[in-house]
Structure 1
């Protein structure tokens, strides 16, 4: 009988590079971690009920912010745009994280998760944007329409983990992009550096590219202090928080996600809950935290205000003063106290 030909290994459309401790030649993975659950589990969640209704629209709790052009000296200011989009102003640099101004986070303009609150900064009121950090390629973090607008208006330096540069470059061929691996560092003016560090997550833009682009957290080191920014992560036993502290800590500020965590059986490996975020704050030794990834776009089962209530409970239980961990609302400005 003829031999069965060996199965062909799927090709990676985004990245080609050497095998590493988190890349097998085709897929990226979390060392000693968990892969995302599969289609059967996804259907079990989607049709299992238990979703708390969200309002269709929520008024912006703060007036739209109009940021200063620059923040210098020892000052550090964070303004919440919404979800995982924050404007970080420090050391004369303006840094945007996972910028999304689009009404939906979806491959389709007519369907998919829709924001319920307007961006906390009007796009035309943005100061000059120097750096954009894109943590991974899920649609609520990598929004090509917004990146095109930013490139046209500001021409920022986009920093993103391996493979995501290919996605962005296809849409914006002349964009200035640096693709970074875990452990890489980029240097900017006045002693500012950006390090790419691990987080426990995954990636996909469709059904056939799962884990083919890398995900990451970032550490921004400045004369005004260090900032630890995580777009999405599972708690993963606190491993990455401990490692960040050992390598970079302490931090003046950590930007930590606190939403999109229910049901736990499905979300635990990819989205930490508020209690885990407080544990992470303590493990990485962050003096202050800006909580994000909540009350903007409905992605999971919990109600719109449940993350804030759960955070307040976790702060009391773990003995952390509430002014040190602020769940930022759209338009809210946080002038981070000096340490």
Structure 2
């Protein structure tokens, strides 16, 4: 038995070492090709996507990160962290024992269903909302916990990384949600004319994709996912799915009405520095990504999903797509940094991504939902508010309230204008 264990450990170490060396060799080779193309002047605006550094990378049937900043996590590190968590004294994340104290520090709001429904129906005006932007310029975002959000651009709806469950494994074991979803998915669909037109899933981790959401939405929406996740959805009865590789572009098709007649929408699948897998056995068998939503060739929204910080990538995205109107960027699950930094960003790194993307406005997501790391549950929000004050942009760097619908006027968003926030019905409107 000992010999078998040692043999398995040796095989795993050999596999991990080989994958790491192959990844480093590929990164170095891509960098050399990039420098050669740069020297020859072949990376101008017309052919800039020839840049080989940020193409998806697959080794021995599994996806790997092609970024020099990335450090892979081995099973040894995984189990060491689980041991550290088990020996932690007190409640992880500093969560208060009293539910009332938790609710006081992290209050939720109810989504503005009147506004969401009116926008879906292409209505210019909404009762109780006299100062709304015109429908064509109207963009709203409702944070629903973790990286899950409902985005509306004019009358078009996108559900992002759907996660409505109160647990990741089951209700008895594993991480439990400490702030419930502000609305159930079933209720959201009933009150807003059904499923959204599109569902964007950045990767397959349990906190970004809820199995019950798959069943509820089914084929009513067009699912847009990275490579490999399509099979997972099809195994659960969903055939209305499109898989994308990094840098793939997808023109969106839908029933034409109102503003959609003249506007051309497009989703671009983009790299992120993360990893995939729902169990230990399927680690990195499916790709991970971020998404950019464009209208008439201009970047309106960036969905960061989950990522570590890699400066060259995000600067390239800013060069390629910037300026970007609005982004939902992760700000939590970054501690301890020696363990988390290759895969998750801190609030300061998230703000740097915003700057790299030349982004006018961001909301910080991926916090305040599950305890998945060691920082205090309120620390991401506190740090982001501090950074917003430091940059004197309190209405451009936003700590969202779970469930609160925020509304923006895409025609007024610019770097020189930190829009004022005003309560408008159940929403916050930035003017």
- TM-score w.r.t. structure 1 length? 0.87
Task: Give the conservation status (yes or no) of the 8 Å contact 1:91–1:222.
Answer: no
Question: Hey, which of these two has a bigger chunk of helix by percent?
Answer: 2
Task: Give the conservation status (yes or no) of the 8 Å contact 1:118–1:330.
Answer: no
Tell whether 2:93 aligns with 1:41: no
Tell whether 2:249 aligns with 1:177: no
Residue 230 of structure 1 deviates from its aligned partner by 0.7
> Could you say which structure has the greater relative contact order, defined with CA pairs below 8 angstroms and 6 or more residues apart?
1
Residue 25 of structure 1 deviates from its aligned partner by 4.8
Give, in whole Å, the separation in 2 of the partners of 1:118 and 1:206.
24
Residue 320 of structure 1 deviates from its aligned partner by 4.6
Q: What do you get for the CA RMSD once the two structures are aligned?
A: 2.3
Q: 1:21 to 1:132 in 2, by over 3 A?
A: closer
Tell whether 2:227 aligns with 1:162: yes
Give, in whole Å, the separation in 2 of the partners of 1:230 and 1:92.
22
Task: Give the conservation status (yes or no) of the 8 Å contact 2:57–2:63.
Answer: yes
Tell whether 2:95 aligns with 1:54: yes
Give, in whole Å, the separation in 2 of the partners of 1:336 and 1:39.
44
Give, in whole Å, the separation in 2 of the partners of 1:241 and 1:287.
15
Aligned residues between the structures: 318
Structure 1 equivalent of residue 67 of structure 2: 32
Task: Give the conservation status (yes or no) of the 8 Å contact 1:201–1:233.
Answer: yes
Tell whether 2:303 aligns with 1:229: yes
Give, in whole Å, the separation in 2 of the partners of 1:249 and 1:226.
9
Structure 2 equivalent of residue 261 of structure 1: 334
The gaps in structure 1 that reach 5 residues or longer are: 1-6, 11-19
Task: Give the conservation status (yes or no) of the 8 Å contact 2:56–2:271.
Answer: no
Give, in whole Å, the separation in 1 of the partners of 2:153 and 2:96.
35
What are the within-5 Å matches in structure 2 for residues 1-339 of structure 1? Answer: 21-33=56-68, 34-48=70-84, 49=88, 51-55=92-96, 57=99, 58-59=102-103, 61-67=107-113, 68-69=116-117, 70=120, 72-106=135-169, 108-123=170-185, 124-126=187-189, 127=192, 128=194, 129-151=196-218, 155-172=220-237, 174-189=238-253, 190-222=263-295, 226-236=300-310, 238-317=311-390, 319-338=391-410, 339=413
Task: Give the conservation status (yes or no) of the 8 Å contact 1:55–1:116.
Answer: no
Q: Deviations over 1:141-168 (max 9, x none)?
A: 122221111227xx10000000011111
Q: Structure 1 runs of 4+ off > 4 angstroms?
A: 7-10
Secondary structure at the residue paired with 2:377? coil
Structure 1 equivalent of residue 29 of structure 2: none
Structure 2 equivalent of residue 13 of structure 1: none
Give, in whole Å, the separation in 1 of the partners of 2:221 and 2:109.
26
Give, in whole Å, the separation in 1 of the partners of 2:160 and 2:228.
18
Q: 1:251 to 1:44 in 2, by over 3 A?
A: same
The gaps in structure 2 that reach 5 residues or longer are: 1-10, 17-54, 123-134, 254-262, 414-431
Give, in whole Å, the separation in 2 of the partners of 1:84 and 1:37.
22
